[in-house]
Amino acid sequence: MKPLTIIPVLCCLTWLTCHAQQPDYETGRVAKQPSKGAVTKDRNSKMSAALHGIYIHDDVLYFQIGLRNGSHIRFDIDFIRFYIRDRKVAKRTVTQEKEMMPLDIDGLERPLVDGKCGKTVVAALDKFTLANSKQLTIEIYEKDGGRHLYLKVRNRNIENAQPIN
């Protein structure tokens, strides 16, 4: 009789762990925000990336990145990487990089940008600030290609993050 009472408890515990609520991030709402210009941008071989805005909601920073492909060759996104590094590096010095793992990314259901098209990608990261000698670097790499894009974000841009409407 006792094993019968334990089994339902174990089933409930496994159901709770499998169906635990993931926090809802506002990446979908940020993707619909109108762009007001570019905080920073980069171009490489008719491919361009621009950081259109930095938003904050509930201690989460949202980075709205616009990708535009000006060529007819499709841009396959290999990965998007966020890390903090030194702004200026002297010769023969060791550089330290701290990678920031995104909490959520919206817009990478199909990780590609078709020819003559654009795409908006929104990444959610835990809130942070930077020292004046550091910068956040966002890398967007092309799979099996050479069109790599780098966006450099300074602390003053992060401090000017707007609340989500």
Kindly state the tokens that stand for 116: 């003559």
Alpha-carbon separation of residue 145 from 45, 46, 83, 131 (angstroms): 11, 13, 22, 34
Instruction: Specify the pLDDT at position 163.
Output: 93
3 state SS for 13-38? HHHHHHCCCCCCCCHHHHHCCCCCCC
The pair of structure tokens assigned to 28 is 């979908």
- Predicted structure pTM score: 0.82
**Does a structural domain hold residue 65?**
yes
Sign of the torsion angle spanned by Cα atoms 135, 136, 142, 144:
positive
Whether 13 is covered by a domain: the verdict is no
Does the residue 90 lie in any domain? yes
As for how many domains the chain has, the answer is 1
In a domain, 3, yes or no: no
- pLDDT of 151 reads 97
Instruction: Output the domain CATH number for residue 60.
Output: 2.60.40
The pLDDT score that the predictor gives to residue 60 is 95
Round to whole Å and give the CA distance between 34 and 53.
Answer: 9
Domain range holding 110? 25-163
pLDDT given for residue 13 in this prediction: 42
Residue 123 lies in a domain: yes
Rounded CA gap, 13 and 9, in Å?
6
Classify residue 1: in a domain, yes or no.
no
Determine, yes or no, domain membership for 8.
no
Q: How big is the chain by its Cα radius of gyration, in Å?
A: 20
For residue 9, the model assigns a pLDDT of 43
Distance CA 69, CA 134 (A): 30
Pairing of strands 162-163, 47-57: parallel
Rounded distance, CA 143 to CA 110, Å? Answer: 13
Within a domain: 4: no
Low-confidence stretches of the chain (pLDDT beneath 70): 1-23
Q: pLDDT value at position 89?
A: 78
pLDDT number for residue 22:
55
pLDDT at 34: 85
Please tell me the predicted confidence (pLDDT) of residue 17: 43
In this prediction, residue 16 carries a pLDDT of 40
